[in-house]
Amino acid sequence: MVPLSGRRHQPRIAALWLALLCAAAITLSAPAAASAWARHTPVPILVYHHVQGYQAGNYLMYVSTSQFASQLRYLRGHGYHPVTMRQVWDDWTGKADLPRRPVVLSLDDGYPDQYFNAARQLRRYHWPAVLNLVVHNGTALRDVQVRRMVDWGWEIGSHTLDHAILTRCSSATLHRELVESRRVLEHKFGVPVDFFCYPGGIYDRRVMRAVRDAGYLAATTIHYGAATPYGRYALPRIAVYWGESLSTFGSRMRQAVAQAR
């Protein structure tokens, strides 16, 4: 979600909590009628930030490398198949089928540990993940590392230019954060960037409309739940947190999917 440390971190952490406490998701009616979706397979989208030892601040910002490794073993052992947002979209729109027990692993912001500690582990399984990248990434995940992750099957989502809290942005700034971030990421990494992730999980109806108008197919939040095509500009995710037991990790995914059916 945010750069590692410093005073700028704190308001953003507060914003994260604010969004987590926001009980009611705002929905933007999809342009397509509900019956237009070929399928509405519920998919758990996991949210990670740092994959490394705990540093400071919010426990939702960290899982340890060994915890991440255990979770990957759990997913494999329980028949889950990590997929990209594009694969989910293709299932919902009837272009392709998802594997049994799909799950999306999304990693926000772009930290070096996501390359060193997450991508390298995922590569052993030949599993994709989603990197929600901030363009002006002051966190030192280098372009060459992102390119390698793309080569390993990662999908890139836009997480804005500056990790701006979009509800506070003027219309011009909002447009720039959405449109320019997409353009830069697509140009730099040579891949389509069709999915968006709200910084801090914070959005409102105006922001959702702008995301839709910028051409994104869907956008993710930090509301708890499994994603379905309904309310596609406010897709829920499941935040994985420091020290979470594997049984809790598994039951939160199962519960989210069951609730979305």
Pick left, alpha or beta for residue 56 (phi over 0 → left; psi -120 to 50 → alpha; otherwise beta): beta
91 binds Zn ion (CB under 5 A): no
Closest CB to Zn ion among 1 and 165?
Answer: 1
Site string (186-205) toward Zn ion, x via CB under 5 A: -------------x------
Q: Which of residues 41, 72, 83, 108 is near Zn ion by CB under 5 A? A: 108
177 binds Zn ion (CB under 5 A): no
Query: Look-up: residue for tokens 């994709």?
Result: 128
109 binds Zn ion (CB under 5 A): yes
Instruction: Name the minimum Å distance from CB 159 to Zn ion.
Output: 5
State how far the alpha carbon of 67 is from the alpha carbons of 10, 175, 181, in Å.
Answer: 25, 38, 32
Cα–Cα nearest to 68, from 113, 111, 121: 121
Instruction: Name the minimum Å distance from CB 107 to Zn ion.
Output: 10
Pick left, alpha or beta for residue 80 (phi over 0 → left; psi -120 to 50 → alpha; otherwise beta): beta
239 binds Zn ion (CB under 5 A): no
The one-letter amino acid at 7 = R
Residues in binding contact with Zn ion, number by CB under 5 A: 4
First-last CA distance in the chain: 29
Instruction: Name the minimum Å distance from CB 259 to Zn ion.
Output: 25
Instruction: Name the minimum Å distance from CB 200 to Zn ion.
Output: 6
The token pair at 130 is 């989603």
219 binds Zn ion (CB under 5 A): no
Residues near Zn ion, by CB under 5 A? 1, 108-109, 199
